[in-house]
Chain A
Amino acid sequence: MAYVMRSSPSVQSGSLAPHSSASSVSSSASSSSYILRLGALNSQRSGRLSITRRAIGTANRRTRKPHGVSASTSELVAEKPSIKNALAITREEGLILYEDMVLGRSFEDMCAQMYYRGKMFGFVHLYNGQEAVSTGFVKCLKPEDYVCSTYRDHVHALSKGVPARAVMSELFGKATGICRGQGGSMHMFSKEHGLLGGFAFIGEGIPVATGAAFKTKYEREVLKNDKADAVTVAFFGDGTCNNGQFFECLNMAALWKLPIIFVVENNLWAIGMSHYRATSVPEIWKKGPAFGMPGIHVDGMDVLKVREVALEAVARARRGDGPTLVECETYRFRGHSLADPDELRKPAEKAHYAARDPIIALKKYLLESGLVDETDLRSIDKKIDEIVEDAVEFADASPLPPRSQLLENVFADPKGFGIGPDGKYRCEDPAFTAGTAQV
């Protein structure tokens, strides 16, 4: 089937209900413009869906024109004027975004090298090309927020703050890995950094992420902790959006107004299965309003646009207004995994997305806007090279897990089976009962 250029406004405008306020629609057909669509369930009224259409100009514009929005638009648009113009980033923010994306890219490239040298084994799924999505979302989060991922989780871990050394060691299967070598490429967990995993089955992470969001709500409402406002971001792919668990969680997240953002990394391919061959309605963002949450489509190759959407969605969740579904149009430059020959994707498609490399785009924007100069970027490149090399050296020098580690950590009970650290049954310990119960 012919590849569809989804970012062209002419394809999309026909399917939208025209809005009476006639917000100015950029007629530029530049491939980096996108249309933000919000289907927001207005809970104050009788629950009818109000659909707003708004177009943002090209990435070359540094500031956004204020729009004349009418009173009947969604709350998100109505709040627009009070949110700082997100496309105008500061120098510091720009450097952080650049550094994070370069770290992701260099790390994954090094993984490929290490795999072919036999240092890494099993299933390894690389993130090249999708860095804008991880950086765009995760750099908006606080350390207490949660991220839940899939098997393509190295870069989510790095963006969330897991040290490169710990991730590389884990991939080498060494005892110094983030999971002491017991998880591997597909199962990165970090309690300290709020990384919930690392799941091999697609769709498996979505309910777990929804549970973490549920926990925030429970903490606020039942445990009466006003400071509990952790937001959860669930990353998953286009193939997952046909899975039952995805829909089950969209339903429950909207039903219970959970602070979660569902981020679809739509890279058009599920191994060798094209999204269009697998999906009856390929526009994934449309599935959000069907369950009562906004569904947004964004250019996932542009970190500034992803960041803008992310800031809004995170603020929405933190306020307690509920979930958001964000579909990011992105692309993976490598195969599904390092074992994938990647024969089914057409060279023209790959070339098109290679031309939209998110790191090159950000670099161009930062230089052209005068926020940074070449030396700043080169020093970051060098710093990242050193970090990645150091990670490899560290992982190489680290020991393999000791034999005794095989049977450890099956249970949280240190001796298993209800036996506490002192060797006695936990239930016989008078302190085992917490509080008193009135029956």
Chain B
Amino acid sequence: MTVRDALNSAIDEEMSADSKVYLMGEEVGEYQGAYKISKGLLQKFGPDRVLDTPITEAGFTGIGVGSAFYGLKPIVEFMTFNFAMQAIDHIINSAAKTNYMSAGQISVPIVFRGPNGAAAGVAAQHSQCFAAWYGSCPGLKVLSPYSAEDARGLLKAAIRDPDPVVFLENEILYGEAFPVSAEVLDPSFVLPIGKAKIEREGTDVTVTAFSKMVGYALKAAEILEKEGINVEVINLRSIRPLDRATINQSVRKTNRLVTVEEGWPQHGIGAEICTSVVEESFDYLDAPVERITGADVPMPYAANLERMAVPQIEDIVRAVKRACSRSARGK
């Protein structure tokens, strides 16, 4: 199943199961979705539940939040999360903070979803990764799926969740197909929010990643396997809350950590994971933590520069080798 179909089926099933769920965004209706994620939904559920909005992120996001205050369950689609910056006031100030400000009276069961991070050649204003920004905000749950199973399970969990969820997808992954079990196709399949998945078990080094970088990490692991390095790959799935238990448990087993992300290095996801491990598993580390991130620049347009600005499989391989070649006490 492709990630696109996984997302489509998840929204379809949740909208069928609960009539309070509705989808709103630019081009989600008649255009069948800017990336065809909402294909067929307008025909099935009608224009009252699949709303094409004008280009007014701040306005329609606020409308979604306001309707969620009293019990509706909106799914707000942003054409990319870059455009959500026009609505970020409502994501943070009206959605994330309201349950706290109202002392539990008003909860906001809303999902904000859309593609996040770099695509291909779309340049600086269309390529930012927002995982770190949203991941630092209390009151939000932030999820980022990799495979079709992740996409289905996490989106269904997000829609059913009583709190605001930021759901960071990836445009490049939409078309990628993954094998899925029958359990995943069941309409009541959900994945827990806040639990990471160990995609590949290993013993020598832990590599954490989310979204597209999980695929790169897995490919790097295959290359490294041939050189005798046994890599454990963790698919974070959930940026907030971060599954610190799984990460720390893994590092205590392998003693080495490499974090991989597409976003900018300063204050990124890798920085938080590194700190968590240093705080909780310092004695188990045999080498300093390696962070692989996007380059500290706005995304360039030229194809060769873009390739240099985002982590590639070779970068992960090199970082793992660096982590493994440093040793404690000269071993």
**Chain A residues in the interface with B (C-beta under 8 A):** 146, 148, 179-183, 187, 189-192, 196-201, 204, 206-215, 218, 221-223, 244-245, 248-249, 251-252, 255, 408-413, 416-419, 425-428, 432-439
Which of A183, A209, A255, A437 neighbours the largest number of chain B CB atoms within 10 Å of its CB? A437
**Sample of 4 further A-B pairs with CB below 8 A, known A201-B93, A218-B67:** A199-B93, A214-B66, A245-B62, A417-B141
Residues of A with C-beta under 8 A to B59 = 207, 210, 244-245, 248-249, 251-252
| Among candidates B48, B69, B105, B141, residue contacting A208 with C-beta atoms closer than 8 Å | B69
**Residues A191 and B105 in contact in the complex (CB < 8 Å), given A207-B90, A249-B59, A251-B54:** yes
**Residues A439 and B101 in contact in the complex (CB < 8 Å), given A204-B90, A214-B63, A433-B17:** no
B14 within 8 A of A: yes
**Residues A248 and B105 in contact in the complex (CB < 8 Å), given A211-B69, A222-B49, A418-B192:** no
Residues of B with C-beta under 8 A to A222 = 19, 22, 48-49
Which of B70, B187, B188 neighbours the largest number of chain A CB atoms within 10 Å of its CB? B70
Interchain Cβ contacts under 8 Å between A and B, 6 examples: A208-B94, A215-B71, A222-B48, A244-B58, A249-B59, A252-B54
Residues of A with C-beta under 8 A to B93 = 199-201, 204
Residues of B with C-beta under 8 A to A200 = 93
B299 to A: closest C-beta gap in Å: 26
Residues of B with C-beta under 8 A to A416 = 241
| Among candidates A180, A191, A211, A417, residue contacting B63 with C-beta atoms closer than 8 Å | A211
A218 to B: closest C-beta gap in Å: 6
Which of B12, B66, B72, B93 neighbours the largest number of chain A CB atoms within 10 Å of its CB? B66
Per the 8 Å Cβ criterion, residues 202-256 of B in contact with A are: 241
Q: Do A437 and B161 touch (CB < 8 A)?
A: no
Q: Do B94 and A199 touch (CB < 8 A)?
A: yes
**Residues A207 and B58 in contact in the complex (CB < 8 Å), given A412-B163, A417-B193, A433-B17:** yes
| Among candidates B19, B107, B191, residue contacting A223 with C-beta atoms closer than 8 Å | B19
B139 within 8 A of A: yes
Per the 8 Å Cβ criterion, residues 147-172 of B in contact with A are: 157, 160-163
- The chain A residue with its CB closest to the CB of B69 is A196
Interchain CA distance A175-B121 in the complex, whole Å: 53
- The chain A residue with its CB closest to the CB of B190 is A427
Residues of A with C-beta under 8 A to B318 = none
| Among candidates B101, B106, B108, B192, residue contacting A428 with C-beta atoms closer than 8 Å | B192
Interchain CA distance A425-B243 in the complex, whole Å: 14
Residues of A with C-beta under 8 A to B160 = 426-427, 432, 434
Residues of B with C-beta under 8 A to A413 = 161-163
Residues of A with C-beta under 8 A to B70 = 146, 212, 215
A433 to B: closest C-beta gap in Å: 4
Q: Mark B63-79, 1 if CB is under 8 A from A, else 0.
A: 11111111110000000
Residues of B with C-beta under 8 A to A215 = 66-67, 70-72
Residues of A with C-beta under 8 A to B98 = 189, 197
Residues of A with C-beta under 8 A to B22 = 218, 222
| Among candidates B60, B101, B139, B191, residue contacting A252 with C-beta atoms closer than 8 Å | B60
**Residues A433 and B188 in contact in the complex (CB < 8 Å), given A255-B54, A413-B161:** yes
**Residues A182 and B100 in contact in the complex (CB < 8 Å), given A412-B107, A437-B14:** yes
Q: Do A212 and B89 touch (CB < 8 A)?
A: no
- The chain A residue with its CB closest to the CB of B153 is A427
A208 to B: closest C-beta gap in Å: 4
**Residues A204 and B94 in contact in the complex (CB < 8 Å), given A248-B54, A412-B163, A439-B9:** yes
Q: Do A182 and B103 touch (CB < 8 A)?
A: yes
A111 to B: closest C-beta gap in Å: 19
Residues of A with C-beta under 8 A to B56 = 248, 251-252
Q: Do A208 and B139 touch (CB < 8 A)?
A: no
B103 to A: closest C-beta gap in Å: 4
**Residues A436 and B187 in contact in the complex (CB < 8 Å), given A204-B89, A417-B241:** yes
**Residues A212 and B67 in contact in the complex (CB < 8 Å), given A201-B89, A418-B157, A437-B14:** yes
Residues of B with C-beta under 8 A to A214 = 63, 66-67, 72
- The chain B residue with its CB closest to the CB of A181 is B103
| Among candidates A207, A255, A435, residue contacting B66 with C-beta atoms closer than 8 Å | A207
Interchain CA distance A206-B64 in the complex, whole Å: 12
Per the 8 Å Cβ criterion, residues 88-119 of B in contact with A are: 89-90, 93-94, 98-109
Residues of A with C-beta under 8 A to B193 = 417-418, 427
Interchain CA distance A182-B71 in the complex, whole Å: 22
Residues of B with C-beta under 8 A to A255 = 54
Q: Do B58 and A245 touch (CB < 8 A)?
A: yes
| Among candidates A218, A249, A412, A434, residue contacting B48 with C-beta atoms closer than 8 Å | A218
Interchain CA distance A206-B63 in the complex, whole Å: 8
B20 within 8 A of A: yes
Which of B54, B62, B104 neighbours the largest number of chain A CB atoms within 10 Å of its CB? B62
Interchain CA distance A27-B94 in the complex, whole Å: 47
Residues of B with C-beta under 8 A to A417 = 141, 193-194, 241
Residues of A with C-beta under 8 A to B20 = 223
**Residues A212 and B194 in contact in the complex (CB < 8 Å), given A183-B102, A199-B94, A412-B163:** no
A170 to B: closest C-beta gap in Å: 9
Residues of A with C-beta under 8 A to B62 = 204, 206-208, 210-211, 245, 249
Q: Do B99 and A210 touch (CB < 8 A)?
A: no
Residues of A with C-beta under 8 A to B187 = 433, 436-437, 439
